[in-house]
Amino acid sequence: MTDKMILKPSREKSLIRRHPWVFSGAVARVEGDPGLGDTVEVLSAQGERLGCAAYSPQSSIRARMWAFGEEDCSDDMCVLLTDKMRIAIYKRINNQLINTHNNGVRLIHAESDGLPGLIVDQYDNWLAVQFLTAGAEKWKAVIVEALAEITGLSNIYERSDADVRTLEGLAEVTGLLKGSIPPEEVTICENDLNYLVNIQKGHKTGFYLDQRDNRQLVAKYAKDRRVLNCFSYTGGFAVVCLASGASQVVSIDSSADVLELGKRNLVLNDLPTDRAEWLCADVFHELRAMRDRRESFDLIILDPPKFAPTVGQVRAAARGYKDINLLAFKLLKPGGILATFSCSGGVDRALFQKIVADAALDAGVEAQIIRQLSQASDHPIALNFPEGEYLKGLICQIN
């Protein structure tokens, strides 16, 4: 390997702890002429070999580690990547995350599985893949063939339409990589309930698989209760709450198309459609209107989109989170339950809890956290990469 990245003095500490990112400010110089996504050897200022990484000259994260220490990438990157993918996928199989009750699952979760920028989700017989970094993009062809061999699934569709690719100097891309184009809707099973997923155009890769466990946990509070489901998308929480005996579920989303899919998800599961109301509206505006109408609910679910992808956007995001939580607390009946989430990487768990606490204070209610929630276990959090914990949730109950 001829291309090398040499770090500034004392900037190797994070890599010794096996954190996978090398920021531009830690780099003293680059030797050779690596291109976008090329593999470079990473050395300390004293010449100690720290591992090998994918080079990204336009990103503030200048390199992402493929391997640490003496493990060598130069001999055969194809073998290294395939072995990492095989380990990640076999973990899901061995942990029985893929079975007759669940055929929608995340198979590879980027840095947390040692594969920076690579996301692979399985929806029944289709794989939806995101290549979010220069290194993942560089090895796309190898990755696709390895996925087909490991999983036995030949239908692979790309959903690399996330704006984070622009930070890597990459254009957004979608399209068929192998096999057949997925139908407009694929049916998956999650905990014995069925959902229609649009792999080609749905949010993320089509569905919020990371909320699988949380849907089950929140639904335990739904029986005989009036539920407000905000930012409902295709009705994941609405389905489980009605299946658990909710007396009514009111779902709000700004997209009429996803609400229509939510309605069809109820029919797909033979659930009572007369207990469901679907509102195409801005959640912030609708919550204020409900407050003014003095409406009330027993259970409110807040699952908003990413308000703060980066730390620089936290201040504005905090205002948004506080507003919706404050309004939700005001709409709860005495003893009511609030299930509130943040998927913003820039908002850590401690800050999110503070925001919710401030919202309760301003709403004039006393509340307790009765459960803390995180992402499903097929979205693991590597101990050496705490940034992998992006989904934070709280179940709160007011007095």
Residue 47 CB coordination number (10 Å): 8
Copy the structure tokens of residue 183: 């139908």
Angle between helix 283-292 and helix 314-331 axes, rounded to 10 deg: 30
d(Cα 195, Cα 265) in Å, to the nearest integer?
6
d(Cα 372, Cα 209) in Å, to the nearest integer?
18
Distances 188 to 21, 85, 259 between C-alpha atoms, Å: 35, 23, 18
Contacts of 97 (CB under 8 A, 6+ apart): 105, 377, 378
Q: Give yes or no for a contact between 22 and 64, defined as CB atoms under 8 angstroms apart.
A: yes
Q: What is the CA radius of gyration of the chain?
A: 22
- Among candidate residues 52, 73, 230, 343, the one labeled active-site is 343
d(Cα 123, Cα 10) in Å, to the nearest integer?
45
Q: For this structure, is 343 an active site residue?
A: yes
Q: Give yes or no for a contact between 131 and 147, defined as CB atoms under 8 angstroms apart.
A: no
Active site residues: 343
